[in-house]
Amino acid sequence: MKIKAQMAMVINLDKCLGCHTCSITCKNTWTNRSGLEYAWFNNVETKPGVGYPREWERQEKYKGGWVLKSKGKLELRAGNRLSKLLNIFYNPDLADIDDYYEPWTYDYKALTQSPEKKHQPVARPHSLLTGDPLELKWGPNWEDDLAGAPETGKKDSNLRSLEEKVRLTFEEVFMFHLPRLCEHCLNPACVASCPSGAIYKRDEDGIVLVDQDACRGWRFCMSGCPYKKVYFNWQTRKAEKCTLCFPRLEAGLPTVCSETCSGRVRYVGVLLYDADRVQVAASPVSERELYKNQLQLFLDPYDPEVLAQARRDGLDEDWLAAAQRSPVYKLAVEFGLALPLHPEYRTLPMVWYIPPLSPMMQVVNSGQTEAESGEFFAAIERMRTPIEYLANLLTAGDTETVADVFKKMVLLRQYMRSKNLLGQDVPVEDNPWGLNGAALQEMYALLALAKYRDRFVIPNAHKEKAGDLYERQGMTGYDPA
């Protein structure tokens, strides 16, 4: 056993407003530079939809992530190392800028410097690549709130196998928001795809970074990442990606997207995991086992043996304490509410999602004040957002796990409802997950109250142990100059 710490995130889709504050603040911090205008390290997609870049989930096209070979060994979907080198002159799997969108700006001078005219002056868009006027046909968030979904929505690969059930007509439509950023995977395909060894995972916190000095621009990381979260800076011709705001994390502050999230739906904390078992956990035959395998990788931060081993592996006391208070551990492991995004890509992603329950409540007869739990649970099957869809997104198709999460969420609502409205502390011990009143109270505090100090439990980095920082200039993801 080799214990490592991983900075991880949980995003509560049940409460995400789709306000894009996270994307904007991230952009203003990290990608407001020439060459990266098109890049959104954090973006918020409306599902169903093809997303950004277009159809990023179609791995048959982009060949991201890992596949299990016949001998039970993991291999990059794009092919082995030799085939990579043979394709080095032209990467057939690369998404190009039109798959994202052609970046543009407006010619604002037309507004501010226009002479008096009969008609209003107009600021027209023009391309940041060529300078030519641009007719906008696609953008970073073209499908916002289902805009165009009747057209593009059908191409959403999560809709596979349920085409008949889902109709994207106005009356029956469903939607939710999916904020996406780099998953800082435990088994990152981007790292494995980089022939120069420029991308690496930090030992201390698991953050995946691109060494700008070592990147030679071969572009395999971009196609290798199944989440399409490595971006090509077309000015510097090097790869850039989300850094999980490590300069902030190191100082104990949450990432910019988390800090500014107006829905307060993001949680950041430490998880302890067994680094020796990562490959095994990523290699089950059945894709549905990936979620459970990954869960089992995470170690109980209260287990004395785990703590002892963690100390032997050099983890500091404040990190162990943070692991014990970690909201991510609570939501993903203890309560089992958060699920990984597309575990079938086998990268073991570390941004997990609480599925959106809300639309279901509309199905329940609103006249009922004391809905029986049976009715609520039955209603889950009739949810507007098909459970199969969420399962394709979060559990490689395992609907039971998603339904289980919803049942817990319903249980929580029922419990709090009777407590707050009826003044009754209904005993709930007989539920299949053994959640008692105290646990539900804690869930409530985390999910509903969502205090800053509970959402973010981030230990400072131990920079005093760092080696020669000057030598490390440029290694951590952005321009050394």
State which of positions 312-331 bind another protein (CB under 8 A). Answer: 312-317, 320-321, 324
Binding mask 294-333 toward ligand SF4 (x if CB under 6 A, else -) reads ----------------------------------------
CA distance 268 to 253: 10
In the region spanning residues 321 to 380, those forming contacts with another protein, defined by CB under 8 A, are: 321, 324
| Structure-token match 């169903």, residue found | 48
Q: Pick between residue 44 and residue 446 the one whose CB is nearest to ligand SF4.
A: 44
| Structure-token match 């002479």, residue found | 115
- Among the listed residues 60, 89, 112, 430, the single contact to another protein using CB under 8 A: 89
With CB under 8 A as the rule, give the number of residues binding another protein: 72
CA distance 358 to 174: 11
Binding mask 194-233 toward another protein (x if CB under 8 A, else -) reads -xxx-xxxxxx-------xxxxxxxx------------x-
Two tokens, residue 116: 């008096």
CA distance 133 to 129: 11
238 lies in the site for another protein, by CB under 8 A: yes
The closest of 376, 380, 373 to 399, measured between CA atoms, is: 380
Exposed e or buried b per residue across 130-157, where buried means at least 16 C-beta atoms within 10 angstroms of its C-beta: eeeebeeeebbbbbbebeebeebbeebb
Binding mask 47-76 toward another protein (x if CB under 8 A, else -) reads -----------------------------x
57 lies in the site for ligand SF4, by CB under 6 A: no
Closest contact distance (angstroms) between CB of 463 and ligand SF4 is 23
CA distance 198 to 222: 13
In the region spanning residues 156 to 195, those forming contacts with another protein, defined by CB under 8 A, are: 187-188, 191-192, 195
Please state whether 214 falls in left (phi above 0), alpha (psi between -120 and 50) or beta: alpha
CB-based contact 419:448 (threshold 8 Å): no
Roughly what angle, to the nearest 10 degrees, separates helices 304-312 and 317-325? 140
21 lies in the site for ligand SF4, by CB under 6 A: yes
CA distance 249 to 456: 10
133 lies in the site for another protein, by CB under 8 A: no
Closest contact distance (angstroms) between CB of 34 and another protein is 10
Question: What is the binding site for ligand SF4 (CB under 6 A)?
Answer: 16-22, 44, 177, 179, 182-185, 188-190, 208, 225, 227, 229-230, 241, 261-263, 265-266, 347
